[in-house]
Amino acid sequence: MVQKTLELGETPKITIENIAGDLHVKGWKRTEALIKTTCENQVVFEQGDQETKIDCPEDCIVYVPHDAVLQVKQVGGSARFRALGGTLEIGKIRGPLILRDVGSVEVGTIGGELSAKRVRGDLQAKNVAGNANIRDIDGQFHTDSIGGNLRLGDVSGGISAVAGGNAKMSIAPVPWQAYSVSAGGNLRCQLPAELNADISLSSGAKSIRIKMPDHSENIRLETYTFEVGEGGTPINLAASGKIDLIGLDADEEASEDFDFNFDFGFGEDFSNMAEDITRQAAQHMETHLKSLETHLSGLSKTLEDAGLSEERSKEIHARLEDARERASQRTQEAVKRAQTKLERKLAAAQRKVAREARRGARTKTMSIDIDALRASKQSSSDPVTDEERMMILQMLQENKISVEQAEELLSALEGKNS
């Protein structure tokens, strides 16, 4: 394994000209760039006045400062980018592309699949030959062509996508954006139950199913338009096959057998419950982080006693520091995701209770239909987390709920049949 290092600034501009094999680029907490490759000759790794250039005829791993501005012209194999805060511009990837925890990204052509999670900015991919799995995008998502299927969720900005296969997505439209998705197969879209939008649907199979809280019907037409709430946000969905449009908390016909009293002493204030659960989850994650810190500190002391060279010792300590930083970041992100998921479930349950109360179908006792929680959980592919189970058990221990209520709540969140 050949290694080359160059000292750079905190936000350098780096151009990767051509990588004949696979490329893995990772951000780190240093002001230098490091390249690792099995190729001993013909590796270009040089620093100019304005930018640093990299060229490698084989596979390589590149470490760069977190906020580096990257331009990648061509990769002959697959490519993976992680922990990068600067902009990323990619010309052509012959294989699959994986993006994790990066800034704004613009890609020309991807010869394989695209997998992107936690993009802190816009994501633009002109052409994707395979499937695209997109999740947790802070900005807009745009693509001219996806050869395979599209799975899409948690995009903060507007969406414009064309997929040759099926499309399955969950979106939360905002008024100042536009949403347009076309699929060569079937299309399934989940929306918040309460929104303001002008929705236009086009189905080549003349099969459109709409299941919103106040609007459910099956339509045997090629095109159909309707307004939700006060209208405004344009949502255009087209598919050669059928279209399913589902409200996130659209409930099936409720069964009284699944009702139970959910009075934890909070009255009708669900937000207090969410805050309590989130606070305990944060404490749980912090405990794990402290345990990790203790372990890493002990490892540092062991390394000091091992008699390593100063250079090697510095390198290992830098890696330990990087591990601490990444663990802390993952902890914070996990707590935020847990909080968002729980608040979403509780808000859906609260809306259902309010609707039932308006219809006069509920008594004055605050209660939640388990079907509402199950439908809310089934709208997400994520399983019940250990933190959620811990919070329920904690409430049971503090006598806020009974054993029967804890079992009912766990079953509802896991989507199990009673």
| 245-257 residue pLDDT tens | 998 764 433 333 3
Round to whole Å and give the CA distance between 35 and 14: 12
Determine, yes or no, domain membership for 201.
yes
The boundaries of the domain holding residue 287 are: 256-414
Residue 119 has pLDDT above 90, yes or no: yes
Residue 340 has pLDDT above 80, yes or no: no
pLDDT tier for residue 148 given thresholds of 50, 70 and 90: very high
Tell which wins on pLDDT, 181 or 347. 181
Round to whole Å and give the CA distance between 232 and 149: 29
Is the CB of residue 203 less than 8 Å from the CB of residue 222?
yes
Round to whole Å and give the CA distance between 97 and 77: 9
Round to whole Å and give the CA distance between 97 and 114: 5
| 262-287 pLDDT tens trace | 333 333 444 455 555 555 555 555 55
| Pair 273, 389 in one domain | yes
Determine, yes or no, domain membership for 117.
no
Average pLDDT value for residue range 75-89? 94
| Pair 261, 409 in one domain | yes
69-73, 76-80, 264-268, 376-380: segment of lowest average pLDDT:
264-268
pTM above 0.75, yes or no: no
Pull the structure tokens for residue 385. Answer: 């987390």
| Pair 211, 282 in one domain | no
Residue 144 has pLDDT above 70, yes or no: yes
| Pair 273, 398 in one domain | yes
| Pair 364, 409 in one domain | yes
Number of Cβ atoms within 10 Å of the Cβ of 261: 13
Residue 18 has pLDDT above 70, yes or no: yes
Determine, yes or no, domain membership for 195.
yes
Number of Cβ atoms within 10 Å of the Cβ of 288: 12
Q: What share of the chain is helix, strand, coil (3-state, %, to 5)?
A: 30, 40, 35
| Pair 407, 295 in one domain | yes
pLDDT of residue 260: 35
| Pair 193, 266 in one domain | no
Average pLDDT value for residue range 373-401? 63
| Pair 335, 362 in one domain | yes
Please classify residue 86 by burial: count the beta carbons closer than 10 Å to its beta carbon, then call 0-12 exposed, 13-18 middle and 19+ buried: buried
Pull the structure tokens for residue 264. Answer: 């934890």
pLDDT of residue 418: 40
Tell which wins on pLDDT, 115 or 250. 115
Determine, yes or no, domain membership for 62.
no
Average pLDDT value for residue range 374-401? 63
| Pair 202, 275 in one domain | no
Determine, yes or no, domain membership for 313.
yes
Final residue before a domain boundary, out of 222, 248, 274? 248
pLDDT tier for residue 5 given thresholds of 50, 70 and 90: confident
The sign of the torsion formed by the CA atoms of 180, 181, 187, 191 equals negative
pLDDT of residue 190: 93
pLDDT tier for residue 361 given thresholds of 50, 70 and 90: very low
| 318-328 pLDDT tens trace | 776 776 676 66
Determine, yes or no, domain membership for 17.
no
44-53, 228-237, 366-375: segment of lowest average pLDDT:
366-375
Final residue before a domain boundary, out of 248, 276, 294? 248
| Pair 225, 337 in one domain | no
pLDDT tier for residue 9 given thresholds of 50, 70 and 90: confident
| Pair 401, 271 in one domain | yes
**Which candidate, 18, 50, 53, 23, places its Cα nearest to that of 36?**
23
Is the CB of residue 119 less than 8 Å from the CB of residue 106?
no
Element (H, E) at 373: helix 370-378
pLDDT of residue 415: 58
| 164-174 pLDDT tens trace | 999 999 998 88
Residue 353 has pLDDT above 60, yes or no: yes
| Pair 187, 234 in one domain | yes
Round to whole Å and give the CA distance between 172 and 191: 6
Average pLDDT value for residue range 237-243? 96
Determine, yes or no, domain membership for 238.
yes
Determine, yes or no, domain membership for 100.
no
Average pLDDT value for residue range 345-369? 54
Using CA atoms, how far residue 160 sits from 197, 217, 318, in Å, is: 16, 26, 42
Is the CB of residue 118 less than 8 Å from the CB of residue 136?
yes
Round to whole Å and give the CA distance between 355 and 362: 10
Tell which wins on pLDDT, 64 or 309. 64
Round to whole Å and give the CA distance between 320 and 252: 51
Provide the percentage of residues in the chain whose pLDDT is more than 70.
60
Convert 79-145 into a string of H (helix), E (strand) and C (coil). Answer: EEEEEECCCEEEEEECCCEEEEEECCEEEEEECCCEEEEEECCCEEEEEECCCEEEEEECCCEEEEE
User: What's the total number of domains in the chain?
Assistant: 2
Final residue before a domain boundary, out of 216, 248, 280? 248
Q: Which residues contact 273 (CB under 8 A, 6 or more apart)?
A: 264, 266, 346
The sign of the torsion formed by the CA atoms of 203, 209, 215, 221 equals positive
Calculate ∠ Cα 392-285-103, nearest 5°. 120
